[in-house]
Amino acid sequence: MAGEYLRPYFRTKYRRVNSNSDSTNMNTKPKPYSLYSNQTFIIKLKRWFIQALTHKTFQPSDEVQPMRTDTRAFALWLGRRGEAYSCWWLRRHKGMIILDRNFRNGPHEIDIIARDGKVLVFVEVRTLSSDHLQLPSASISKTKRKNLHLAASAWRKDRGYRGLWRMDIIGIVWPIPEEEPSRVDHWVKSL
């Protein structure tokens, strides 16, 4: 553009905006760049610290694994283990801050409540021992979605939260509980 140029900052502390404009715009001070006012930088820095401070491998609890023949006890144990793995996975791989786990409001429950930058995230965790019949995310019915939204609104109302929020699903396929899961899927804004 003709007449517009920017002098290097180390030569002079003023910049010329437009040579054809009036003299009031001729000597405007440049805005200094501050890393601390850059919110995205601070969010990325917090994520990096969270990821750096989280264990590199999943540390399971010392809870005894029930027999597979007791299907109800095994399903509850696998669900609790999947939620613990999801918390570790969100911290390690996504850099989220875990705020609350297993929030209940009457019959409604949210597995994980986390913060991803400026956004509040409500996470539903589905853990299956195999994905031969269906994916873990397909096991969420309309009534479960409704209950999740009711629990999320109750959590936001209790704490007076009025900011941005979303609902995610984490699906885990864990055929051999002694090893790492064979599949971890994270669906963002899925409910």
- Residue-wise pLDDT tens digits, 76-133: 999 999 999 999 999 999 999 999 999 999 889 999 999 998 899 999 999 988 877 7
Using alpha carbons, select from 167, 172, 175, 166 the residue that is nearest to residue 185.
Answer: 172
The range of the structural domain enclosing residue 13 comes to 1-32
Using alpha carbons, select from 183, 54, 60 the residue that is nearest to residue 126.
Answer: 183
Residue 180 has pLDDT above 70, yes or no: yes
In a domain? residue 148: yes
Mean predicted lDDT score pLDDT of the chain: 81
Q: Which residue has the higher pLDDT, 59 or 88?
A: 88
Rounded Cα gap, residues 152 and 121, in angstroms: 10
- Is residue 21 domain-shared with residue 88, that is, in the same domain? no
- Is residue 28 domain-shared with residue 70, that is, in the same domain? no
150 within 8 A of 159, measured Cβ to Cβ: no
Residue 12 has pLDDT above 90, yes or no: no
Rounded Cα gap, residues 32 and 61, in angstroms: 50
The predicted model scores a pTM of 0.72
- Is residue 62 domain-shared with residue 104, that is, in the same domain? yes
- Is residue 91 domain-shared with residue 156, that is, in the same domain? yes
Q: In total, how many domains does the chain have?
A: 2
- Is residue 98 domain-shared with residue 71, that is, in the same domain? yes
Rounded Cα gap, residues 93 and 159, in angstroms: 27
- Is residue 72 domain-shared with residue 4, that is, in the same domain? no
